[in-house]
Structure 1
Amino acid sequence: MGTVLVAALAGGLTGGLAGAGGAYLATPRGQAPVQALPRAAPLPSQSAQGLSVTAARVLPSVVSVTVGRGGGSGFVIDAAGHVLTNAHVVSGESRVTVILEDGSRRAASVLGVDEGEDLAVLELADTAGLTPAVLGRSSDLRVGEQVLAIGSPLGLSGTVTGGIVSALDREVRLGGARRTAVQTDASINPGNSGGPLVNARGEVVGVNTAIATGRGGGNIGIGFAIPIDRAAPIAERIIRN
């Protein structure tokens, strides 16, 4: 019988577990609302571009997140220095180190988390040279559509793996609760947590979060991503509050 594990890299390449719960505070009175994160407009079906072109477009937005001896992945979501990742990647931390595609290291603070949804937003003090990812629409995904998973599995930054959307709205247990997720056969391993799942146009359609494993452990071609249509509003609320 398979087991669902979060795909974090922690303590010598072992997976961590996401907690359940978490809540949001109301926006303080008089505080100006934060502009919504930019989203890609709905587009009609079109032939996929070369996946190498897609990967090259997205890689500058993807970061490695290091926490002690472990960590995971994330991606830049705006020019203000905000990075989206999984809550279980930064669990219990207030400050982490983010490594950009060019290998440079930048300090980041944990701006806020939603443990129930296993999402966290980091904030970089130095925003120079950042390339925000383009957020797509997971509602436009179709079973069989090509996707790429990008992140730092086993600490190997900038790793790109390909596959297809295997199922939509798959119910799985994450962080002690039942959640719906995008299922993909793109290879996801410890360290991929928090990295983007992107479509053939290079738009982020999910946040890679967990894998199903057999008794021997490791990837068996069943991975799960939090749909970006659910993740983006949560990131916006964390930034606003």
Structure 2
Amino acid sequence: MPSTIPGLGEPRGPRFVSPALAPDEQPTGSTAAPAPPVASTGPDRPRYGSDGPADRGAEPPRWPRLLLAGLTVVAVSAGAGGVAGHVAGGDAPPATPDAAAAGPPGSAGGDLVAAADRVLAGVVSVRVSTGGRGASGSGFLIDDRGHVVTNNHVVAGGGTVQVVGRDGRRLTARLVGRDPDTDIAVLRVDPGNGLRPLPLASAGQTQVGEPVLAVGSPLGLSGTVTAGIVSALDRPVRLGGGARQPAVQTDASINPGNSGGPLVNGRGEVVGVNTAIATLEGSGNIGIGFAIPVERAAQVAQGLIARG
């Protein structure tokens, strides 16, 4: 049986180098055109990273028994993510097909184009540098006092923190507080910076099948928007270092660097904080991502701000 995956692992194909990040900030586990997880008897058979299958000649594929054994939930911060726990019970459903388009304005889907335009004004890239090393993730503004929500595992390593807005300006951020159990952290930047706070969805209003957008900086590509749907609610997974907690499951593409960014509905309201993905045998996104429900994230963030 394969061992538990200790993280996103080494690239399985040509390394993707983001033009927006310095070499020490490159996302962990990023790949471009990853090698397929099959064995080959020819001289050019693919070589895998340290957490992938070794070269095995013509050994028959083992996918039927690997599907559940290899399924792992990992944090998706670039450079700071690690194991976030197994999918509870090992019975995560297959990915739900992407939502190609939203419903009409005013419906549960709303207008995703307009939603993306509104949301991007409040989403930032989070850059952390310490001791010659770096990590990167995403975040979003939640009030007009300059408070930014992100993931704890993005900033847990300490160091100098900067956020980069839609206009490319770098702002120095101060860590207000962090909560490892829920994987939420709050930063603060000076107000009057042009960033726009994002509205939060009302508790209990998110619906399975509802179109959503994941917004952030996957692989250092700031201002990236991916579309999908809410695949499930109250999915029990381990996020951070605590016990299992209910999460929003989505098939919107989430990758290293998306950590801490918002998952928003068609009205531009935040329904969750993107935190982790499920992987098979160290692969990247397979269409099963998880977000901290916005009501829990907001509650924790307000507590950190009050103590801050």
Q: TM-score of the superposition, structure 2-length normalised?
A: 0.66
Question: Secondary structure at the residue paired with 1:57?
Answer: helix
How far apart are 1:128 and its partner, in Å? 2.6
Change in 2 beyond 3 A, CA 1:90/1:127: farther
Partner of 1:197: 263
**1:11-90 superposed matches below 5 A:** 16-17=81-82, 46=107, 48-68=109-129, 69-90=134-155
1:132 to 197, 205, 221: 197
Unaligned runs of 5+ in 1: 21-44
How far apart are 1:239 and its partner, in Å? 0.7
Q: Output one character per residue of 1:161-198: Cα deviation in whole Å (capped at 9) or x when no partner.
A: 00000000001122242111000000000000000000
Asked if 1:8 is matched to 2:102, the reply is no
Deviates more, 1:174-183 or 1:108-117: 174-183
- RMSD between aligned residues: 1.8
**Residues of 2 paired with 1:203 and 1:71: CA distance?**
24
Contact 1:165 1:185 in 2 (8 A): yes
Give the letter aligned to residue 71 of structure 1: S
Q: TM-score of the superposition, structure 1-length normalised?
A: 0.84
**Residues of 1 paired with 2:228 and 2:118: CA distance?**
18
Asked if 1:231 is matched to 2:300, the reply is no
Contact 2:216 2:223 in 1 (8 A): yes
Contact 1:182 1:206 in 2 (8 A): yes
**Which of the pair has the greater relative contact order for Cα pairs under 8 Å at 6+ separation?**
1
Partner of 1:174: 239
Unaligned runs of 5+ in 2: 1-69, 86-105
Higher strand share: 1
Q: Which runs of 4+ in 1 moved over 3 A?
A: none
Contact 2:151 2:183 in 1 (8 A): yes
Percentage of identical aligned residues: 58
Question: Secondary structure at the residue paired with 2:121?
Answer: helix
Change in 2 beyond 3 A, CA 1:2/1:73: same
Give the letter aligned to residue 197 of structure 1: L
Pair member with larger Rg: 2
Change in 2 beyond 3 A, CA 1:138/1:191: farther
**Residues of 2 paired with 1:95 and 1:83: CA distance?**
15
Partner of 1:34: none
Contact 1:150 1:195 in 2 (8 A): yes
Q: How many residue pairs end up in the alignment?
A: 213
Give the letter aligned to residue 201 of structure 1: R
Deviates more, 1:51-60 or 1:167-176: 167-176
Change in 2 beyond 3 A, CA 1:231/1:18: farther
Contact 1:19 1:116 in 2 (8 A): no
How far apart are 1:207 and its partner, in Å? 0.2
